[in-house]
Structure 1
């Protein structure tokens, strides 16, 4: 069966179509006719599809009408058919002139012709094309099935089937997901993220990515809980019909979700292992085989500390870059265990996402890892104190903070010793209460909510703290002493018992 063209539809007098501009494009193929009234119809149709509209999606002003024609032509849309029912704004001469220049057909459809008649005509004429699409769908799903049985990845097999180099990009963190041997160019990732401009609440269905003056790739949103897009690399607009894209997005989305869930489970298991090493419940002999499974055995290690709120970012960025690591939370901080040889690369990866990082000295023995965590915490506090992005335990010299673990222990005992002893003797929570109260800027409601206690209970505890220490929670000098002592305590203990 020969391909249906826009000119063929105009020639069918019973359809009531007339060409008012873009006659040079009447030989454009039409494989489907679709009605759309959204402001950006080019994102909802694909190559060789005819846009049918009552005119609601046609802007009223000249500039935006011209832009509508340009965007539709750029997306490879076959043409636009506007219903002649007086709902459309007047089509400006500039819009029609642009259509003539681009050879983009603009048709009017008689109000006596329902869009369903136009759609059925195209559907019947494109029957053989639909059979071809069904065959392609079968091949796509076969590629997905066989990818689980072979060494090649799903993306590689889909790339081979569709004829484009495919990648998955997390546009929230600027990382490549499901990365194989062939990696997408970093500049393309940066340009894609820049094009989105941080608007991640609703990703565009389709986005062209240009590097300089050259079109580098075309991106399609994915149905995943991570902010991901399927990126087809190519120096021209990707010629994939909506049918193929839709199912490729579905297949890749499922694979991203599966891989993400598996990695989250592995991260949690690794975090539990690191936690056991830190608190001493797992000896070196028992830890060794599990470190081997994580790719971290028989090498020097370094521990990196960061604010606990950034653990998800750390796990995603390092996981996508396939950097072996273990991470866990201890109190208000998170800690990463990784090979010392990867430290510089990891700092470069995490820097754009985490404001302060504290680096421990290197160690090669499991027994010293709790000390490494304390060192990382000390360095993190140093980075926070002077506002630097990275601080190393061996070189940092923060203002006002103790420089060694023994100094930190002495400073904490000097101010908080009686409180610490009281808590230990009475199983009370005065230190925790003071820490929360000052961390939350002395907000009574926020502190009570965090500790899940009544405000009267909070008032009783604060009075008890003042009575034991002889210091006031209202005096600036005493508050400063409390705060620095609490930081010294965190450094000396590393958040550990």
Structure 2
């Protein structure tokens, strides 16, 4: 420490104050920087590290369980101890209170009836005058460091850590992700004390302070630390929100068939040149996923669809997205790889189908096999699949054309015989005959799941294959 400071033991041994220890004698060496009287029901909210609570008992609960919790809260708030006035408003103290105070080495003191709280306060103030001066000097330095708040919040966090000798990090409540943190402190013990506080201007973010035992940040400084960090983070958080909004707008434009300006600012210089995939997650996870993607500055686009929330990720961002969703415990369905952004809508549909059929056993379900919709592929690939699956049925002979249109009508009507026959204006027996001929020509049987899947792929690819004028 910078200098010797007042301890609880010093107050107890001062004959003029007439104080005695009721419990928690193991904590008599706790430092006392301030003494304050409080009779509110939650004094732990109003007092902080190294401060002595003085009360005539109005804030002390009556039941054994509540008295135990009373000691727990005061200790966790970092108070030096509690001085109880010997007054008839003080409720009977329970065995549970004494045991908890002893277990935590949290001093519980009883003051003499003849000793006013003001005398204790003046004693503490006089003894810690030098320490208070040092606090003011630290406060002045703290606001000097705030000049980096908007331009370089990371530098400011590191400088604040050096000033306060405490670790600082800001995390997002919804995702649990760290937004910004200072560099690891040297020689931080494993028994570090951690406290969290909401930032004044952003309830979705909290500051975590990791402190050396016995060197907790005082409540005097803490108020100002929160203000300075809130200013530093406000600009960063606004940037994250703008990035998320731009990402959503760009994805909407791509779904509408337009190429948005500034795509490289989010997807990076290589963009989707080596391919991209779509990831579908549940709509109820959309806010968490979008915020997390922005916090991590992932090179992706993210936005809502009709039934799922989508992420368009370039191939180079795949591992980052997968790790992020795994950390968030979010289930996802992933499309196959695509090359042309004009195929984005079909790619998203594919991801949504994978997601809806992925079950709940795994968090990440990849597409396996041939793409569901070959309209998303090149015409060369579509042509290869059509010719491989249909063979002679891809020809232009009128009789062949009739058979192919019969097959496509059968698939379009979800293999329902009556609807297919009605759509073609033929009898069911004629439909049966044609399907038999299709089997003879292609060597594929609609009763086989594998062959039926192949037929469906050819059906999906046919528009690209037949439109060869492009």
TM range (shorter): 0.5 to 0.7
- Cα offset, 1:54, TM superposition: 2.0
Unaligned 5+ segments in structure 2 are 376-407, 420-459, 461-470
Shift of 1:218: 0.4
1:327 to 268, 288, 302: 302
Retained in 2: the 8 A contact 1:217–1:234? yes
Given the alignment of the two structures, is residue 272 of structure 1 paired with residue 244 of structure 2, yes or no? no
Q: Deviations over 1:379-426 (max 9, x none)?
A: 233236x876443343499xxxxx657899935999xx9xxxxxxxxx
**Residue 317 (str. 1) matches residue 319 (str. 2):** no
Q: Which has the larger radius of gyration?
A: 2
Correspondence list, 1:235-384, <5 A? 236=213, 239-282=216-259, 289-290=264-265, 296=271, 298-351=273-326, 353=328, 355-383=330-358
Query: For the residues of structure 2 that align with 1:154 and 1:91, how far apart are their CA atoms?
Result: 47
Kept in 2, the 8 Å contact 1:215–1:237? The answer is: no
> Who is 1:392 aligned against?
366
> Does the Cα contact within 8 Å between 1:50 and 1:81 map onto a contact in 2?
yes
- Number of matched residues? 380
Contact 1:140 1:248 in 2 (8 A): yes
Q: CA deviation at 1:172?
A: 3.3
**Structure 1 residue aligned with 2:195:** 219
Q: Does 1:228 align with 2:205?
A: yes
* Alpha-carbon spacing, 1:63–1:393, altered in 2? closer, same or farther (3 Å): closer
Mapped to 1, the partners of 2:99 and 2:329 lie a distance apart of 52
Shift of the 349–83 alpha-carbon distance from structure 1 to 2, 3 Å rule, reads same
- 1:470 maps to which residue? none
The superposition leaves residues 69-119 of structure 1 with CA deviations (integer Å, 9 ceiling, x where unpaired) of 576567653332112221222234675577678765433234565534543
Contact 2:179/2:295 (<8 A) preserved:
yes
Correspondence list, 1:68-147, <5 A = 72=74, 77-92=79-94, 104-111=106-113, 113-147=115-149
Alpha carbons of structure 1 residues 243 and 266: separation in structure 2 relative to 1, 3 Å: same
- Tell me if the contact between 1:169 and 1:229 (Cα under 8 Å) persists in the aligned partners: yes
1:327 to 1:104, Cα distance in 2 relative to 1, 3 A: closer
Q: CA deviation at 1:44?
A: 4.6
**Contact 1:215 1:236 (C-alpha < 8 Å) held by counterparts:** yes
Is the CA contact (8 Å cut-off) linking 2:23 and 2:101 kept in structure 1? Answer: yes
Q: 1:460-484: per-residue Cα shift (whole Å, max 9, x none)? A: xxxxxxxxxxxxxxxxxxxxxxxxx
The structure 1 residue matched to 2:161, chosen from 159, 171, 190, is 159
1:55–1:374 distance in 2 versus 1, CA, 3 Å: same
Rounded Cα–Cα distance in structure 2 between residues aligned with 1:76 and 1:278: 54
Q: Deviations over 1:159-188 (max 9, x none)?
A: 1221223222234322111257769xxxxx
1:265, CA displacement in angstroms? Answer: 0.8
The two structures, once aligned, show a CA RMSD in angstroms of 4.2
8 Å CA contact 1:270, 1:327 repeated in 2: yes
Matching residue within 55, 58, 74 for 2:57: 55
Aligned to 2:468: none
Q: Secondary structure at the match of 1:52?
A: strand
Q: Structure 1 unaligned segments of length 5 or more: list them.
A: 184-209, 398-402, 418-491, 493-497
Cα distance in 2, alignment partners of residues 368 and 102 from structure 1: 64
Counterparts in 2 of 1:7 and 1:309: CA distance versus 1, 3 Å = closer
- TM-score when scaled to structure 1? 0.63
Q: Can you list the C-alpha shifts for 1:259-306, whole angstroms capped at 9, x where unaligned?
A: 2221111111122112112211227xx566555658735442211112
